[in-house]
């Protein structure tokens, strides 16, 4: 039976994200995280999470190797992509991890999943990528948008919405250097999401081995 992940995620509330009921932005050793995929899942279940999403950079190999955990784990992948002069991260949620329409966008080697300098080089066409995500049964969400060097955040999101963007990661902690590089406050992003009818998601961008 196919799972409607979009419907599931659309039902999550702000409290779900802020009270650690769900975490839709987690990395593992399949990209640049240090946590083991199955260990992170065990931690999440022990802590009573409703769902988590593991979204390693440019790869779904973790989901393919641990397909028995999908359902509790929402299949996702975080792509490095450019839109005009702006570098951004686009998360594909709920995709069929074996869909052939997605293959051209995945990393060809491990360095394309973990090294920043390598990851910013591939020139994925964002419209083609979003179309492929939809073709694979998923939906596209921009990650940590306040970090994007957009001169006008509203126009930036509107342009992405016009080419198929489905959601915005709103509930994100902006740790480390990102708290000093924010180009829009959370309240503004919430308003933009409401204005364009976009799904609101959230997560911690976990790269550590322990889920809080």
Is the distance from CB of 107 to CB of 59 less than 8 angstroms?
Answer: yes
Q: Is the pLDDT of residue 178 over 70?
A: no
Q: Which two tokens stand for residue 13?
A: 């509330």
Q: Is 202 helix (H, G, I), strand (E, B) or coil?
A: strand
pLDDT of 129 reads 97
Structure tokens at 106: 């995945």
What residues contact 152, with CB distance under 8 A and at least 6 apart? none
pLDDT at 141: 98
Q: How is the chain split into domains, by residue range?
A: 5-202
Determine if the pTM surpasses 0.85: yes
The predicted structure's pLDDT at residue 95: 97
CATH of span 5-202: 3.20.20.140
Q: What is d(CA 63, CA 3) in angstroms, rounded to the nearest whole number? A: 15
Mean pLDDT of the chain: 91
Per-residue pLDDT tens for 37-76?
999 999 999 999 999 999 999 999 999 999 999 999 999 9
Cα–Cα distance for residue pair 192/158, rounded to 1 Å: 9
H or E stretch at 75: strand 73-83
């Amino acid at each position: 039976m196919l799972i409607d992940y979009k419907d599931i995620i659309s039902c999550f509330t702000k409290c779900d994200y802020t009270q650690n009921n769900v975490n839709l932005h987690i990395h593992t050793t399949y990209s640049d995280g240090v946590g083991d995929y199955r260990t992170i899942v065990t931690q999440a279940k022990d802590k009573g999470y409703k769902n988590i999403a593991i979204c390693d950079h440019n790869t779904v190999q973790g989901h393919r190797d641990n397909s028995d955990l999908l359902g509790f784990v929402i299949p996702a992948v975080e792509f490095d992509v450019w839109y005009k002069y702006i570098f951004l991260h686009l998360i594909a949620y709920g995709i069929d991890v074996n869909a052939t329409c997605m293959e051209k966008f995945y990393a060809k080697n491990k360095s394309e999943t973990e090294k920043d300098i390598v990851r910013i080089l591939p020139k994925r066409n964002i419209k083609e990528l979003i179309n492929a995500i939809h073709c694979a049964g998923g939906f596209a969400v921009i990650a940590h948008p306040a970090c994007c060097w957009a001169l006008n955040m509203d126009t930036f999101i509107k342009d992405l919405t016009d080419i198929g963007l489905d959601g915005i990661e709103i509930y994100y902690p902006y740790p480390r250097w990102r708290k000093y590089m924010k180009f829009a406050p959370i309240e503004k992003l919430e308003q933009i999401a409401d204005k364009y009818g976009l799904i609101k998601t959230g997560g911690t961008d976990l790269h550590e081995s322990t889920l809080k």
